[in-house]
Structure 1
Amino acid sequence: MPVSSTTHLVLIPSYNPGRKVLATVRAARAQWTPVWVVVDGSTDGSADWLTEEAAKDPGLRVLVMSENQGKGSAVLHGITVAAQQGFTHALTMDSDGQHPETLIPDFMAASQAEPEAMVLGKPVFGPEAPLVRVLGRKLSNGWANLETLGVGIGDSLYGFRVYPIAPLMRVMHGTRFMRRFDFDPEAVVRLSWAGVRPINIDAPVRYFTPEEGGVSHFNYLRDNLLLSGMHTRLFTGFVLRLPLLLWRRLTG
């Protein structure tokens, strides 16, 4: 039986994942209630498939955005509605089956034990993981830990994590960024600046081949340029906040 909660929900932002999304949602529902999916302007028919699924499953809710606005925008839409209904925490996971749904209860338990923290997945890669992705995230992780004075962010890019909703909404409303692929790394940096402590838990990640139904929307040039611009912006913010961060580190 899935664990049920009135404070913690699973939130899945989704954009053109193909049929893999149904397996992902069913696997998540086997572990947790409720599960919400935010369809981010998908054009692959997944909004219809998920709506049909939700009609048969009261533990599943589907929110449909009319246009593609990016992962961060989808998460913000989902947590805004969730907060209005009394939820305090959201576990985000990708819709393409890469994230380990069997660890949902463990991550939620860690969050429930320390509700003021954010629980971050630290990816354990299989042999199929693209080397350029593995090496590229090391650079992003290095920048994130510099920008937070080494507060302890295990991985800045892995999207399997539990956020406390209220502080995440505050930092998102405080910037016009964090709306697309830059959401995950910028969220952990800005939440760290806001005093939200990270808890890191190892979690496997799987990269599916196209033959296995794998879908990737990652564009190496576009998204690496986006990340580079993001870290330039965050480093500027880090310099401005450095006295506060040093004081917090010395007195914490």
Structure 2
Amino acid sequence: MSYCIVIPNYNHTVVIDKLLEDLAAYKLPVIMVNDGSDADSAAFMQTLAAKYSYVTLVSHSHNQGKGAAVQTGLKYANGMGFTHAIQVDADGQHDITDIHKLVALSQAQPHTLISGQPIYNESVPKHRYYARYLTHVWVWIETLSFDIKDTMCGFRVYPLAETLSLLTKQRSIGEYMAFDTEIIVRLYWDGVNTTFMPTKVNYPENGVSHFRLWEDNVAISWMHTRLVFGMLKRFPQLLLRKFRD
């Protein structure tokens, strides 16, 4: 089992230098995906890739969305021979001191998706805090299960064989903010379980959000519509799995 870190990055420059510096302690290669950032941000990322020898920079020619950037990073990691990839967001929200715990859980369950389960402090925007529970409810319906404790945390360890198998056959997985939720549901449908680990989440004071109020809400609504219909098609299998578990 071999691990790397994947960081999707669209114009995040405020904390990324410090984040990459801190990640050096874990002695894991880092694949940072520049998702079509502006010229100044792209140049800064090039500087960081030259500064930190363990960082590989992969670039999109234009912005394709967080989900697309994560998928690019996972495919690149697989091409480099890694078996698992740790997703870390570029905005400094995640408590990276928990990386060792994520890896330990993954090593004990190599075919399982390992995900953070956020512990929020007072920095969390209230509308995000409450809105994510609406998504959780939809996911419980879509999986006929309460096994998925959190659907949106971007601090995860992906088993690459299982994940890329899904991405190969399911090419319509959301490329923007819907990705984190959709991939966890579809992996569950494919028989890939998720283990959750409580982890602190902090929203930096000067943090930048790329959530598009109209476009992403429409995309997320459409995603849940597709997933509900997908659940109905899989209803017998999901029900059988529920009783078997």
Q: TM-score scaled to structure 2, two decimals?
A: 0.94
* 2:108 counterpart of 1:113: yes
The Cα shift of 1:151 comes to: 5.0
Which residue does 2:61 correspond to in 1?
A: 66
Matches of 2:212 and 2:46, distance apart in 1? 29
Q: Judge which range, 45-54 or 143-152, deviates more.
A: 45-54
Which residue does 1:189 correspond to in 2?
A: 185
1:29 touches 1:35 (CA, 8 Å); kept in 2?
no
Which residue does 1:87 correspond to in 2?
A: 82
Which residue does 2:13 correspond to in 1?
A: 18
Matches of 1:195 and 1:32, distance apart in 2? 31
* 2:104 counterpart of 1:99: no
- 4+ runs of 1 displaced by more than 6 Å? none
Which residue does 2:242 correspond to in 1?
A: 249
How many residue pairs are counted as aligned between the two chains? 244
Q: Judge which range, 144-153 or 196-205, deviates more.
A: 144-153
Q: Judge which range, 45-54 or 88-97, deviates more.
A: 45-54
Matches of 1:172 and 1:149, distance apart in 2? 22
Given candidates 200, 207, 224, the residue that maps to 1:204 is: 200
**Cα separation, partners in 2 of 1:179 and 1:56, compared to 1, 3 Å:** same
Which residue does 1:228 correspond to in 2?
A: 221
Given candidates 46, 50, 72, the residue that maps to 1:51 is: 46
Structure 2's unaligned 5+ residue stretches are: none
> Share of identical aligned residues, percent?
38
Could you report, residue by residue, the CA deviation over 1:126-146 in whole angstroms, capped at 9, with x for unpaired residues?
112111100000010111122
Which residue does 2:175 correspond to in 1?
A: 179
The Cα shift of 1:99 comes to: 0.9
1:72 touches 1:183 (CA, 8 Å); kept in 2?
yes
Could you report, residue by residue, the CA deviation over 1:110-137 in whole angstroms, capped at 9, with x for unpaired residues?
1111111001111111112111100000
Q: TM-score scaled to structure 1, two decimals?
A: 0.91
* 2:139 counterpart of 1:150: no
Letter of the 1:198 partner, please give it.
T
What value does the CA root-mean-square deviation take over the aligned residues? 1.5
Aligned ranges 1:121-132 → 2 under 5 Å: 121-132=116-127
Matches of 1:144 and 1:175, distance apart in 2? 20
Structure 1's unaligned 5+ residue stretches are: 1-5
Matches of 2:215 and 2:55, distance apart in 1? 33
Matches of 1:50 and 1:219, distance apart in 2? 23
Matches of 2:195 and 2:179, distance apart in 1? 18
